[in-house]
Structure 1
Amino acid sequence: MNVVLWVIASLLAAVFLVAGGMKLVQPREKLASNGLEWTEDFSAGLVRFIGTAEVLAAVGLILPALLGIAEVLVPLAAVGVVLLMIGAAITHGRRKEAQLIPANLVLLVLAAVVAWGRFGPYSFTS
């Protein structure tokens, strides 16, 4: 199960590193024209904040465990991803973008599995 948790955390990290990086380097208008229409409802600063949170989550899912330093940050980062995905699902629901919610829910469940595993039976401290 430890390997499964590493694989899930790595996949989540890759997804959120790319998604967050995109929000950090591209202007809000370009993001909206590239399919992220929800950015029209938020200020540029808030979009950058979300991007920063996603990049930090990506780093937090891998780096602490890889370095063996403050490994409790891994499940905390996973909880952060769960919270981000709850917010994303709510946003898409309010915008009547129901087709996007399943992806949010898949990422939420994967992050919840990592949080459960790393807080519980497969923690780095046990």
Structure 2
Amino acid sequence: MTVAYWTVAGLLALFYLYGGGLKVVESRERLLPMMAWVDSTPMAAVRAIGSVEILGAAGLVLPRLTGVAPWLGLAAAVGFVVLQVGAIRVHLRMGDRQVALNLALLAAAGATVWLAAVS
């Protein structure tokens, strides 16, 4: 189970580190082609979401890597489940039915929750 956790959590952490980093440093104009919801969201909120994603990515990896508060990996994975449920709601509310990536991230985060709980 440990190898499975590191595989899924590592890939999830890389994705959120990249996506969160973009939200933190890029302008609205640069984000719009990738994330249409940015147009109707204040940039302070976009930056905050990006910061949460970066912290969550660290939370998936660092606690288990260092052995300090390893339960934080489970908490970060649960946070990503909640984040994706909210993201899917935002997409659907905006009339955007392209939520396949969000569903895949939700499944990966759910698998990480389960793997963190059993290992």
TM-score computed with the length of structure 2 as normaliser: 0.95
Higher RCO (CA-CA < 8 Å; seq separation 6+): 2
Distance in structure 2 (CA, Å) of the matches to 1:47 and 1:53: 10
Aligned length: 119
Instruction: Report the RMSD for the aligned CA atoms in angstroms.
Output: 1.0
Other structure's SS at 2:49 match = helix
Q: What whole-Å deviation, never above 9, does each CA across 1:49-107 have from its counterpart, x for those lacking one?
A: 100111011100001111111100001000111111111111111112112x1111111
What are structure 1's unaligned runs of at least 5 residues? none
Distance 1:104 1:79 in 2: 15
Q: How many angstroms does 1:116 deviate by? A: 1.7
Indicate conservation of the 8 Å contact 2:12/2:109, yes or no: yes
**CA positional deviation for 1:30:** 2.1
Asked if 1:49 is matched to 2:48, the reply is yes
- The one-letter code matched in structure 1 to 2:110 is A
Q: Give percent identity, aligned residues only.
A: 40
Contact in 1 for aligned 2:4/2:115 (Cα 8 Å)? no
Unaligned runs of 5+ in 2: none
3-state SS of 1:96 partner: coil
Letter in 2 for 1:64: P
Please report the TM-score for the alignment, with normalisation by the length of structure 1. 0.90
Q: Secondary structure at the match of 1:98?
A: coil
* 4+ runs deviating over 4 angstroms: none
CA distance in 1, matches of 2:31, 2:85: 21
* Alpha-carbon separation, structure 2, partners of 1:79 and 1:29: 31
